[in-house]
Structure 1
Amino acid sequence: MQINESLILQCLNELNKNYISKKIYKDYYEGNHNILKNYTMQDSRSNMKLVFNYPRKFIDNEVGYLLGKPVNYISKSDDENILNSIDFNISHWDKEHNINLRKQSEIFGESYELNYINEEGEFSATILNPINCFVLEDGTTERNVVLAVHKFSKQFDDKEYLDVYTDLEILHYQIGTVEENKTNNNSTKLNYIGSHNHIFERVPITVCPANSEKKSGFQDIISLFDAYNALNSDLVNEIADHRNAYLVVENAKLEEEDLGNMKKMGIIQVPNGAKVYWLTKDINDSFVKNELDNIERKIYDLMDEVNFNENWASNTSSLALRNKLLNLENRVSMREAIMEKVIRQRLKNLFIFLSKKEGKIYDYRDVAVKFTRNLPTDLTGLADVIVKLQGVCSRETLLALLPFVENPKLELNKYRNEQKNIDLSE
């Protein structure tokens, strides 16, 4: 595909469209829900707006469940050098990076990992999303990235800039406008700043989708969030000021100024035979509670989450806990497959970097990526399983079962060194 300014402008136009359509998911994650803008206000009444930020809660829980424990790497060919190279080059930043990458995917439906070489000559990565980046794919089954544009601004600078990533170089532009005399409209103009080459021989951006449809993790249930917020807000305001209550005055007449004094002083005087009372609308507490509980259950069900605020037995085993988390486990397993593919592409770029910097040749297909669920673990039962599997599986494989062992190969080497020292001391 020929990269020219016309194609770049088309990509920039798509990026601007995505910003409009995707920003709502960023707002909901940050707690800026629809009720804050569209709640029906009533004069002289309480108008509190309650926001229950379920999107943040669910996304953080799901990402923590999948990536709360570091990703482990295992060499299929038992090559210790390849694991040492991975550990040395990315272990100091990849845990936080993986969490944020997955979080951005769940919010927007997809996110992008940009690999680059930092000023100190180290292999690094940063995260982009659909409101600041557009990625053009080739349309094949492999969905190779052929072009990516990243729109950004600098602090204390009112100008906007655009970086364009191709398979060989990075083009730098400043975004400007040009006035069209015939239509009196402004169109986007790109002012070329410069370019520089990169080493990856492909566009150094990897797409990380939230799911196969690239939909936000909570897109389908935004209406339930809105209903839950509105119902709770109405209920609180009803209690706060009798939202559906009216003051009834019988056999007396109050002037408008009397009403103001009554509110200010909290006192009302009426002649003999007059009556003052509230005409209220009865609230069916059971109906309201049942409706709130029903909406909350639907929210948890559709997000495949478990409500840990329910009463659970204190001695619930890890197996029973996993059974309750079965739906979430199925959901996360699909995310795990996506993350594994993204991490493999990162390793592929890392090994390109190492081959050019140090002359080391590694095959990313030799590396197995292992995820460990962030769950309470029955270490006693797990230790019993490991003992029973002695002689059936390798020690490195058995060590990989332990959630607190981040690098089984390194742990095995430590164990062997300790045994040597013990034998020498004896």
Structure 2
Amino acid sequence: MSDSKKRFSDESNIQYTFTSTEDLIGNTKAIAKFVQHHMANQQPRLKVLQEYYKGNNASILNGQRRKEEHLADNRATHNFAKYVSQFIQGYMVGIPLKTVHKVEEVNNKIREMNRVNDADEHNSELILDQSIYGRAYELLYRDMEDQIRFTVSDVLNTFVIYDDTVEMLPIGGIRYMINQFNENEIVIHLYTNNQHFIYKGNQSLEDIAVNGTLPHHFDGVPIIEYSNNKFRQGDFEDVLTLIDLYDAAQSDLANYSQDLNDAMLKIVGNLEIDSDEAKHMRDTNLLFLRTEPNPHGSNTQADADYIYKEYDVSGSEAYKDRIANDIHMFTATPNMNDENFGGVQSGEAMKYKLFLLEQKRAAKERLFKKSLRDRYRLINNIMKVAAEGEFDVNDLIITFTENLPENIAKEMEWFTKAGGKLSDETMLSMLSFIENPQEELKKLEEEDKKNPLNQPMYDFQQHQQTEVIENE
């Protein structure tokens, strides 16, 4: 297939590679080429995906659809893209993922760090960017209060450069932006394993130079890429043409309905009226057809009706349903309009209906966990330098919980009737708003100790022991 038949070129989603960090630093020509390529080849694809997510479906909104100026030209967009990405986002992190370390002291530090950075919202934004663009980027830094921070970096102006080995290790991360007060100036931030370089130049990138250098102590590139899948493809990217077809079918149906109201009136017969009289008839919704005698002595025939294009409405509805079902099938998302999907069902029954999405979720989770461990590996590196302690990243337990409606009450009813019992810790772990069951149990224990009503007024066992000693 030639590039002219593709929506996006092969260059729109390639991974950038270079020989080494040493060769990249100070090589302004190479840095300029990377940024130029990203702006010319990768940004357009990312912007198209962003517009579809916003509901600005380019295919239906741009270009000429109908040649006749007097006919309706409705252009209806249907935001399947947002439905797909938001459903997957909610399914994966609607219940926040849990990051737990087996060492309690380390666990407390990570929990506090996550609270400072609002990690639940941050992870949710990363998952959404992954779903839309096929990739997401995270920037780690140390703020003015000397706290470790991480934030989402805009996909439209961020990318990572890897080495040219089979391991594809990151050797540099780039963020660039046009000066909003001077559109001819561009600022480029290059992050390596231990340095942050700032370049400035004109937008043509013909002449950029180092404007500043800052050290960092993450001992690794602090821009982390989160890939959605092997091909870095968005979750709705391969159904864009189907979304276009649905938009076109719905728009054509709307045009038909409007054209029917504005249909051309056809009059058969000898009707002699002036324009003012015709206008008056139209305004009053009345039409007088006067017949006249023909040469044979009988009256002429007169008739009036509308001329419009016949449209197979039922066929069009079936066609749209088929397209919508294909969109849901190829994106592995459920069609909530499907009557067979609703109803009160157990979580296990729902999983069977979401089998394809479960396979996609498993693959996405593996890639997300890989990048998430890179985040905490860099955090551990800078904590060691700052003498704030260290931990084994391999001991982190990262848990995703699919956000499914589950009939827990029914399961508990069956379990208790069968004579089953659960520990307090297990009961607490079933609550989505409890982040750490063990911590909650400790709080309950401390509260019980402080409550005077829970203190024994008289120790009968001690009293009995005292009586025995006295009798002896």
Q: Shorter chain as normaliser: what TM range?
A: 0.7 to 0.9
Which residue of structure 1 lines up, in the alignment, with residue 168 of structure 2?
Answer: 143
Alpha-carbon shift at residue 375 of structure 1 (Å) = 1.9
Which residue of structure 1 lines up, in the alignment, with residue 142 of structure 2?
Answer: 117
Q: Does 1:12 align with 2:35?
A: yes
Alpha-carbon shift at residue 212 of structure 1 (Å) = 1.2
Q: Deviations over 1:336-373 (max 9, x none)?
A: 11111122111112222322334312111111011112
For the Cα contact (< 8 Å) 2:188–2:199, is it kept in 1?
yes
Which residue of structure 2 lines up, in the alignment, with residue 107 of structure 1?
Answer: 132
Any idea what SS the aligned residue of 2:267 has?
strand
Paired amino acid for 1:105: Q
Any idea what SS the aligned residue of 2:207 has?
strand
Q: Deviations over 1:200-240 (max 9, x none)?
A: 12111111011111112111111100000000010011012
Aligned partner (choices 375, 388, 393) of residue 359 of structure 1: 388
Aligned partner (choices 47, 65, 80) of residue 91 of structure 2: 65
Alpha-carbon shift at residue 299 of structure 1 (Å) = 0.8
Paired amino acid for 1:310: D
Paired amino acid for 1:13: Q
For the Cα contact (< 8 Å) 1:209–1:338, is it kept in 2?
yes
Paired amino acid for 1:290: A
Q: 1:261/1:413 Cα in 2 relative to 1: closer, same or farther (>3 Å)?
A: same
For the Cα contact (< 8 Å) 1:105–1:208, is it kept in 2?
yes
- In structure 2, distance between residues paired with 1:167 and 1:308: 47
Alpha-carbon shift at residue 72 of structure 1 (Å) = 1.2
Q: 1:346/1:256 Cα in 2 relative to 1: closer, same or farther (>3 Å)?
A: farther
Q: Unpaired runs of 5+ in structure 1?
A: 178-185
Which residue of structure 2 lines up, in the alignment, with residue 131 of structure 1?
Answer: 156
Aligned partner (choices 405, 408, 426) of residue 434 of structure 2: 405
Any idea what SS the aligned residue of 2:152 has?
strand
Which residue of structure 1 lines up, in the alignment, with residue 211 of structure 2?
Answer: 193
Q: 1:383/1:18 Cα in 2 relative to 1: closer, same or farther (>3 Å)?
A: farther
Indicate the structure (1 or 2) with the bigger Cα radius of gyration: 2
Q: Does 1:97 align with 2:125?
A: no
Q: 1:6/1:243 Cα in 2 relative to 1: closer, same or farther (>3 Å)?
A: farther
The normalised TM-score by structure 2 is 0.79
RMSD: 3.0
The normalised TM-score by structure 1 is 0.87
For the Cα contact (< 8 Å) 1:147–1:203, is it kept in 2?
yes
Point out which structure has higher relative CO (alpha carbons under 8 A, 6+ apart).
1
How many residues align? The count is 413
Which residue of structure 2 lines up, in the alignment, with residue 183 of structure 1?
Answer: none
Any idea what SS the aligned residue of 1:306 has?
coil
Q: Does 1:43 align with 2:73?
A: no
Q: 1:100/1:198 Cα in 2 relative to 1: closer, same or farther (>3 Å)?
A: same
Q: 1:87/1:247 Cα in 2 relative to 1: closer, same or farther (>3 Å)?
A: same
Q: Unpaired runs of 5+ in structure 2?
A: 1-19, 292-300, 457-472
Q: Deviations over 1:173-220 (max 9, x none)?
A: 22315xxxxxxxx66321432111111121111110111111121111
Q: Does 1:305 align with 2:336?
A: no
Aligned partner (choices 313, 324, 327) of residue 285 of structure 1: 313
**Aligned ranges 1:224-263 → 2 under 5 Å:** 224-242=242-260, 246-252=264-270, 261=279
Which residue of structure 2 lines up, in the alignment, with residue 318 of structure 1?
Answer: 347
